[in-house]
Amino acid sequence: MVSIKDVARIAGVSDKTVSRVVNREPNVTQDTIEKVQSAIDALGYIPNLAARSIRSSRTNIIGIITDYISTTPYSGDIVRGVQDWAGANGRTVLLANTDGNAEREANIWRTFKAHRIDGVLYVAMYHRTVAPASGDVSIPTVLVNSHAEAGLTYSSIEPDDFGGSYALTQHLVELGHRRIGYIRLNPLLLGANQRLDAFLAATQAGGIAENDIIVRLGMEGPIGAETNYVYREALSILSMPNRPTALVCGNDEMALQAYLAALSLGLRIPDDITIVGFDDFRTVSLALKPELTTVALPYYDLGWQGAEMLNDLAEGASAIERRILKCNLVGRQSSK
C-alpha cells in the first residue's frame, strides 16, 4: 500500500507538507501543491480518511436529508449547490431521501450519527416550516429552503418569496397596469401565501383599487396531488368584459396554462394581456413565446450558502442564523 512517506519521497518534501496539501491547509506554495499532487497521481495514493478523522475529530463528510427529491422543478439544484461547494472544499456528501417517512428519517439521523459526519443539511424540496425528526441526535444542522416550526431552534436558509412577488407586482404597476388578475398556488404552501400577501401589499402600495384586483384559486388539495383549476380560472378572468391588463400566476407552470387560455380566446401576449409567472422554471419560461417574465428562485445558492453555514457551525460557530436569499425579477417579453 502506498504511504504518505512514499509520496513525500517522490515529491521531495516532508511528510507534514504532504499532509498539509492533502488537507488543503493554507500557506503552501502552488509549486509545492503541484509537486505533491503529481506524486499522488503517479503513485495512486489514497489518504486514510478514517485515521485522519480520528486525529482531527472531523470526517469532512456532510449529510443531506431530503424529503421528495423532485417535488418542485429545479429544486434538485439545491443538492447540486451543496455538492459543488463540497467538491471545492474537500468534503464528501452523503445524500438520503426520506420520501416524507418519519421512521425512515429517524433511521437516517441515527446512521449519520454512527458515521460521525460533521453536519447535516436538512433540505425541503418546497418552501415550508419543518420539524426535523432528529430526536436527541446532536449533529450541527442547517435547514435549507425552510425554517423551523415554533419552539425549535435551527439555523436556516430560505428564499424571499415575499420580496420576489412584491418586486414582480411592483414591476407591473410601474408598467402602468391598473387592473390585475392573480391565480394563486395551493394555500397549503408557505411560498404560495407569501407570494399572495406580497401581491396584495404591492397593489395596495401602488394605489390599485380593491375592485380592480381579481384573485382566483388555481389549485388545492394534498401537496403533489392537487386538483388543478388554472386553465378554467384563467379563461374566466380573460373572458371578463372588463378583463385585467395583466395576469399574475403563482408559478411558471400556471403561466403556461394561462397562455393557452389567452390563445384560445385569440388574445395576443403581451399586446392584449401581460402574463407573468414565478420560479423561472426554464423548461417553461424560455420555451414559451413570447418568453415569460418571472422571478427566479435561488436554488443553487441555497445549497452553496447552506453548506457554508453548516461548515461554520461544524467549526464551532454558535450563533443561530436565519438567512433569506433574494429572488430576482427576470424581465422578458411577456410583459409590457
Q: What is the DSSP string of 244-277?
A: -SEEEESSHHHHHHHHHHHHHTT--TTTT-EEE-
Is the model's pLDDT at 274 over the cut of 60? Answer: yes
Model pLDDT for residues 69-120, shown as the tens digit of each residue? 555 666 788 989 999 999 888 888 988 888 878 888 888 888 888 778 899 9
The answer to whether 243 touches 254, Cβ cutoff 8 Å, is: no
Decide yes or no: CATH 3.40.50.2300 for domain 161-296: yes
* Omega within 30 of 0 (cis) for the link into 159: no
Q: Identify the CA nearest to 201 among candidates 166, 159, 246, 172.
A: 166
59-158+300-324 and 161-296, same CATH topology? yes
Q: Quote the cell numbers at residue 105.
A: 428519517
Q: Which residue has the higher pLDDT, 171 or 111?
A: 171
Q: Identify the CA nearest to 154 among candidates 145, 163, 143.
A: 143
Is the model's pLDDT at 213 over the cut of 50? Answer: yes
Model pLDDT for residues 50-59, shown as the tens digit of each residue? 455 444 456 7
> Could you tell me if residue 279 is left (phi over 0), alpha (psi between -120 and 50 degrees) or otherwise beta?
left
The predicted pLDDT at position 306 comes to 96
Q: pLDDT category, 4, cuts 50, 70, 90?
A: confident
Tell me the CA end-to-end span of the chain in Å, nearest whole number: 68
Q: How many CB atoms lie within 10 A of CB 326?
A: 14
Q: Quote the cell numbers at residue 1.
A: 500500500
- CATH code: domain 4-47 is 1.10.260.40
Q: pLDDT category, 143, cuts 50, 70, 90?
A: very high
The domain 59-158+300-324 belongs to what CATH superfamily?
Answer: Response regulator (3.40.50.2300)
Sorted by where each begins, the domain ranges of the chain are 4-47, 59-158+300-324, 161-296
Is the model's pLDDT at 261 over the cut of 80? Answer: yes
The predicted pLDDT at position 54 comes to 43
Model pLDDT for residues 18-69, shown as the tens digit of each residue? 888 887 777 888 889 999 989 888 888 876 654 554 444 567 889 999 886 5
Give residue 235's Cα distance to chain centre: 32
* Whole-number Å distance between alpha carbons of 254 and 103: 34
How high is the mean pLDDT of the chain? 89
